[in-house]
Structure 1
Amino acid sequence: MKMKFLAIALLPFALAACQSSDVQMVKDTVVNVIQQQNADQVLTDYQWSYQPAETQTPIVLTFAKQDQRLSIATGCNTQGTTWNLDKGQLVTGNLMSTMKACSPELMNQEKLSSSIFEKRNIAFSLNTTEAENPTLTVSNAKGEKFVFQGKMTPEAQYQTQAEIIFLEIAPETKPCTGVAPQTCLQVREVKYDEKGLKTQVDKDWTYFYSGIEGYNHVPKQRQIVRVKRYEIKNPAADQSKYAYVQDMIVESEIVK
Structure 2
Amino acid sequence: MKRFATFTLALTLAACTRSPQETPAPASAPPAEAPATPSAVPATASTTAALDAAMLGRYHWTLDRAVDARGQRIEALFVRADAPVQLDFRDDRIGVSNACNRIGGRYSFEGDVLTVGDLASTQMACSDPRLMALDQAVSQRLQGRQTAALTGGDTPVLTLTSSGGDVLTFRGEPTAETRFGGPGETVFLEIAPHSKPCTHPAAPNRQCLQVREVKFDEQGLRTGTPPEWQPLYQDIDGFKHVEGTRNVVRVKRFVSGNKPEGEQVAYVLDMVVESEVTKDSPRS
Tell me the TM-score normalised to structure 1 length: 0.67
> Is 1:195–2:219 an aligned residue pair?
yes
Residue matched to 1:166: 188
Question: How far is 1:161 from its partner?
Answer: 0.9
Which residue, out of 15, 23, 26, partners 1:9? 23
Residue matched to 1:43: 56
Which residue, out of 73, 80, 94, partners 2:105? 80
Question: How far is 1:47 from its partner?
Answer: 1.9
Looking at both structures, which has the greater relative contact order when contacts are Cα pairs under 8 Å and sequence separation is at least 6? 2
> Is 1:152–2:174 an aligned residue pair?
yes
Distance 1:151 1:252, change over 3 A: farther
* 1:89-238 map, 5 Å: 89-90=113-114, 92=115, 94-98=117-121, 100=123, 105=130, 109-120=134-145, 122-129=146-153, 131=154, 133-170=155-192, 171-173=194-196, 175=198, 185-216=209-240, 218-236=242-260, 238=261
- Assess if the C-alpha contact under 8 Å between 2:183 and 2:254 holds in 1: yes
Distance 1:241 1:140, change over 3 A: closer
- 3-state secondary structure, aligned to 1:155: helix
Give the fraction of aligned pairs with identical amino acids, expressed as a percent: 29
1:155-202 C-alpha deviation (Å, 9 max, x unpaired): 111111121212223325254556796665433211122333222342
Aligned residues: 222
Distance 1:181 1:71 in 2: 34
- Structure 1 unaligned regions, length at least 5: 13-32
Distance 2:56 2:188 in 1: 29
- 3-state secondary structure, aligned to 1:139: strand
Q: Which one-letter code corresponds to 1:82 in the other structure? A: Y
> Is 1:247–2:281 an aligned residue pair?
no
Distance 1:214 1:77 in 2: 11
1:91-117 C-alpha deviation (Å, 9 max, x unpaired): x25314247376764565444444444
- 3-state secondary structure, aligned to 1:9: coil
Distance 1:111 1:211, change over 3 A: closer
Residue matched to 1:27: none
Distance 1:217 1:100 in 2: 19
User: Relative to total residues, which structure has the larger helix share, 1 or 2?
Assistant: 1
- 3-state secondary structure, aligned to 2:101: coil
Tell me the TM-score normalised to structure 2 length: 0.62
Distance 1:180 1:87 in 2: 45
